[in-house]
Amino acid sequence: MKISIKPLFLLVFAAIFFASIVPVHVFANSTEETGAAKTEEGHKAGKFNAGELIMEHIGDSHDWHLWGKGEHAVSIPLPVILFTPKGFDVFMSSAFHHGEAVVSRKNNYKLEENHIKIVNEEGVIDEAASKKIVDISITKNVVGLFFSAFLMLYIFLSVASTYKRNPDQAPKGIQSALEPIIIFIRDDIAKSAIGPTKYEKFMPFLLTVFFFIWFNNMLGIIPIFPAGANLTGNIAITGFLALVTFIITTLNANKNYWHHIFAMPGVPKAVLLILTPIEIMGVFLRPFVLMIRLFANMLAGHIIQLSFFCLIFIFAEMSTGAGYGIGIFSVLFNVFMGLLEILVALIQAYVFTLLSASYFGAAIEDPHQHKESII
């Protein structure tokens, strides 16, 4: 099998990668505000706060926490890049030392619930000015995005160069692992859903989105730096991937596709008054479902594992024996969930790619193909 990295493949990957950085900041992670409300009570009580730990691990942040808590916490500082009414401000997140305000030449800042606020000289938050901040910092999720991008480019460019050097030799190592997956996506997803004559122009996107989701799903399971960022559990990332699918589908849709959306053949006009709005709604619901399915499945898996991990500390506060007892069950369950998450990581990448291919196939389907499929 001949494999070459086409310019279109790199273009699609670059578009997904660089454009995905923006939504990470435009949309706050959907779990952050909920976590903020739940953690305040735990701080006041001085007890172990499961909600705080869970939200810390699944949410985005301006530094990369490694281990420890409070003054003993060890983390990697990341660049904070802010656009404010007074201009750009750039500094490292380590400047936020134990909640202290950062004094810069333009503004004074304070990190509150992982959101950067402008404070006045008395240390009071200026909500009006804070709302005008555009945060384009290199956060944990952005670093994770850079790492997964580097990993993918390194692997596939290496595989492609090996094929070019030895075009007639059997694949070895990583080549032999990736080739069956690429053939599977081509033959069992693209060709079957789009058609044997029209699938080729969609292959760069389908391959890119499959491996992008799969790699980031797997990296999200590994809790050790530089892995561990919850990219596919961030609705901004999944939303952008679904948006790309929607745009490709819309731009490639033919006359037959739109005819079935606005006036399905063979349907009485009275029924069209009900059916047409449903079909139009379905055009926008498909990418929405793509977004929610991937986001919810990956986020739920992380929350379940962390919840059972937290049970150890919750029961340990009651008694040491209860902590040890629930600890055995919790570890065994987390091992099971970890294996299940590996399977889910692959299945979700497959489902997203398959549904995207089916949307592309429906958009470019010829009238005679539609009749055959009905028969």
> 90: how many CB neighbours lie within 10 A of its CB?
10
Per-residue pLDDT tens over the stretch 235-253: 989 999 999 999 999 999 9
Q: What is the pLDDT of residue 211?
A: 95
**Environment class of residue 322 by beta-carbon count within 10 Å: exposed (0-12), middle (13-18) or buried (19+)?**
middle
The full set of domain ranges for the chain reads: 7-22+141-374, 62-138
Q: What is the pLDDT of residue 9?
A: 54
Per-residue pLDDT tens over the stretch 85-120: 888 888 888 887 766 677 776 778 888 777 888 887
Residue 239 near residue 291, CB atoms below 8 Å: yes
Bridging pattern class, strands 74-77 and 79-84: unpaired
- Residue in this structure with the two tokens 């990697």, named with its chain if needed: 76
Q: What is the pLDDT of residue 312?
A: 83
**Environment class of residue 180 by beta-carbon count within 10 Å: exposed (0-12), middle (13-18) or buried (19+)?**
exposed
Q: What is the pLDDT of residue 285?
A: 92
Spell out the per-residue pLDDT of the chain, length 375, in tens. 444 445 455 555 555 555 445 444 444 444 444 444 444 444 444 577 777 777 777 888 888 888 777 667 788 888 888 888 888 888 888 887 766 677 776 778 888 777 888 887 777 888 888 888 888 888 888 999 999 999 999 999 888 888 888 877 777 888 888 989 999 999 999 999 998 888 999 999 999 999 999 999 999 888 888 888 888 988 989 999 999 999 999 999 988 888 888 888 887 888 888 888 988 999 999 999 999 999 999 988 888 888 888 888 888 888 788 877 888 888 888 888 888 899 999 999 999 999 999 999 999 987 765 544 433
Q: What is the pLDDT of residue 85?
A: 82
pTM of the predicted protein model? 0.81
Residue 315 near residue 322, CB atoms below 8 Å: yes
Q: What is the pLDDT of residue 242?
A: 94
